[in-house]
Amino acid sequence: MTPTLASSQPATPALPTHYTWPHQGRYRESAQAIAQALFDTLDDDLHPQVSVLCLPLDPVGGQPVCQEPAASDLPNEAFAEVVADGLVLEAVGLVSPVMKPAEWMNDAQVRQRLENLAIRKTLLQVLEQLDAGATTQHFAGYPVRINGYIVFTLLRVQRKPLRSYPALKPDRFYTTGKPVANSLLAAAMYRFNEECYKSLNEPAPGAGFLFRPRDTEELLRAAGQSLLDTPALALGIDPGLAQLFTTLNTISSLRYEGAEGIGRLLLVPRGHPNVEEVFALTCPTELSDYRAVRKLLEMTSHDVHLLADGEKVYALGRQVGHYDATREDLFDIHFVTHYAWEFAHAGQVLLRSRYGLPNLPRPRLNRTRFKRDLKRTFDLHRTDKVARLWDVVLEASKQPKGTLLVITTEALAEADRLKLQCTLIEPVPLTPLITQLITSIDGAVLLDPEGYCYSIGVILDGKASGHGNGTRGARFNSAVRYVESSPYPCLVVVVSEDGMVDVLTKENLAESR
């Protein structure tokens, strides 16, 4: 008997009972990988966790609420009425703000958009109730309808680090109705949500996600661009035309007669009550005239800054009086050093950009993280020794020209090995005063986990591994080579001239790759 076509085909594996489409698990794993890379770069204490929530669109159809992974901390029953309540919310016209529909959308598509917004708004209220009193907080992405379900990508992060960074006023929107990011973290979440939304709208959601992961740096730059839309909107400028993030990066990358750009620029409307003009330019200079702005930056001082309205530099002046921060119409751009700048409002830094990559204004040093690194590298537990090393590192981090501290179990042997490229000293326990003196010269300081210093001005060696960073200087990359080549347990503290402090260990370098 000739086998039929149907019987000759291999059987399709049954999907897990909580799956609403074939690539659900693969989609979540890929979204988790993107979130992990993105938010760990911003703050590795956020511990992002991605899950997928699938709500049946027909509340009486008998379909269950599904979550991926199935073993979730969120109870399915908490979401049983979300769709029904959301549809009621949409029916009575309480969806606000409404995203402006695209020109190509017909009435049915507009209606579906409104329903999705209402269901999402209801879901956010439920998540807020579930998170009450918890150490974590959930965020819901933009929903997509798949196989009779409305699918949400949920992001959970730790609440404490989330709230430790300054932010601008919330609940502000573009003219299209899309939310304006009030912090770099919020901007990163919006970008992550957009990436997930695009993937869920593909013909086979999740099938190709692993093959086209978005680069973390690309997402970070996009988040930086979003945050710098805030001052543009506050000054009444089209953010798309202003391109402030790109403009400021370009200005900071330029040198004037070999000198790096250091100074301040205030983004503020002309005639602001808290700004006094020292002198005005007859012909204001376009911010997009990068070299001209860089030249003008040479005239700034500690209290006299360039004044720009978001499009043009119109004067030099100073900030005066008490600024009412609720106005959010005076923003400070501090050019720290070559290709490094900060974006601040009312004395609070919201973003730091270095070599075109934005990051959060994290503390120069994190004591808890430093103690963890000492424990992992040297199995060091004694609080007095940890405190002594912390005081040394804290003092070294204040060195304006930058420095290197190398802590290794074989400091004496390494001092002898590198004696032709360092200055040997009699072993001495480091104090903040001694640290201040010996870090004022070029080269690394070599000490052991007990806090004893054996040599200064050390020129580090090490084999090139291809794991350096082309955007960082020779000091950072020589430290990377030394740590990776060292046969002994070691920890290197890199203090850069722009104020960045990196703690390098073999474990940290492996985790960053």
Q: Measured between alpha carbons, how far is 423 from 417 in angstroms, rounded to an integer?
A: 12
Q: Does the residue 113 lie in any domain?
A: yes
> Roughly what angle, to the nearest 10 degrees, separates helices 184-200 and 24-42?
160
Q: Cβ-count burial of 219 within 10 angstroms (0-12 exposed, 13-18 middle, 19+ buried)?
A: buried
* CATH number, domain with residue 376: 3.40.1700.10
Q: Are residues 88 and 65 part of one domain?
A: yes
Instruction: State mean pLDDT over 448-470.
Output: 82
* Token pair 């001092």 in the structure block, residue: 415
- Residue 395 Cα to chain centre, angstroms: 27
pLDDT of residue 368: 84
- Structural domain ending residue among the three candidates 173, 202, 227: 227
Structure confidence at residue 8 as a pLDDT band (50, 70, 90): very low
Residue of higher predicted confidence among 379 and 467: 379
Q: Does the residue 352 lie in any domain?
A: yes
pLDDT of residue 468: 62
Asked if pLDDT for residue 416 goes beyond 80, the answer is yes
Q: Are residues 260 and 153 part of one domain?
A: no
- Structural domain ending residue among the three candidates 227, 251, 270: 227
Q: Measured between alpha carbons, how far is 139 from 158 in angstroms, rounded to an integer?
A: 11
Q: Which of 3-12, 173-182, 392-401 has the lowest mean pLDDT?
A: 3-12
* CATH number, domain with residue 284: 3.40.1700
Q: Are residues 182 and 258 part of one domain?
A: no
Q: Are residues 250 and 218 part of one domain?
A: no
Q: Does the residue 115 lie in any domain?
A: yes
pLDDT of residue 214: 64
Q: Both tokens of residue 57?
A: 């669109």
Q: Are residues 442 and 336 part of one domain?
A: no
Q: For the chain, how many structural domains are there in total? A: 3
Asked if pLDDT for residue 11 goes beyond 50, the answer is no
User: Hey, how many other C-beta atoms are within 10 angstroms of the C-beta on 71?
Assistant: 7
Q: Are residues 199 and 69 part of one domain?
A: yes
> Roughly what angle, to the nearest 10 degrees, separates helices 216-227 and 244-253?
110
Residue of higher predicted confidence among 431 and 214: 431
Asked if pLDDT for residue 10 goes beyond 50, the answer is no
Q: Are residues 175 and 73 part of one domain?
A: yes
Tens of pLDDT along 56-66? Answer: 998 677 789 99
Q: Cβ-count burial of 110 within 10 angstroms (0-12 exposed, 13-18 middle, 19+ buried)?
A: middle
Q: Does the residue 9 lie in any domain?
A: no
- Structural domain ending residue among the three candidates 178, 209, 227: 227
What residue type is 404 in one-letter code? L
Q: Measured between alpha carbons, how far is 139 from 135 in angstroms, rounded to an integer?
A: 14
Q: Does the residue 76 lie in any domain?
A: yes
Q: Are residues 141 and 193 part of one domain?
A: yes
Share of the chain above pLDDT 90, in %: 67
Q: Does the residue 11 lie in any domain?
A: no
Q: Are residues 240 and 104 part of one domain?
A: no
Asked if pLDDT for residue 160 goes beyond 80, the answer is yes
Look up the domain containing 433 and give its range: 367-512
Q: Does the residue 271 lie in any domain?
A: yes
Tens of pLDDT along 106-140? Answer: 888 888 888 999 999 999 999 999 999 999 999 99
Q: How would DSSP label each residue in 330-366?
A: -EEEEEEETTEEEEEETTEEEEEEETTEEE----S--
User: Hey, how many other C-beta atoms are within 10 angstroms of the C-beta on 143?
Assistant: 23
Instruction: State mean pLDDT over 172-195.
Output: 91
Q: Are residues 271 and 156 part of one domain?
A: no
Q: Does the residue 341 lie in any domain?
A: yes
Q: How would DSSP label each residue in 157-209?
A: EEHHHHTTS----SS-B-TTSPBPPSSHHHHHHHHHHHHHHHHHTSSSTTTTG
Instruction: State mean pLDDT over 186-192.
Output: 96
Asked if pLDDT for residue 90 goes beyond 80, the answer is no
Q: Are residues 85 and 194 part of one domain?
A: yes
Q: Are residues 202 and 62 part of one domain?
A: yes
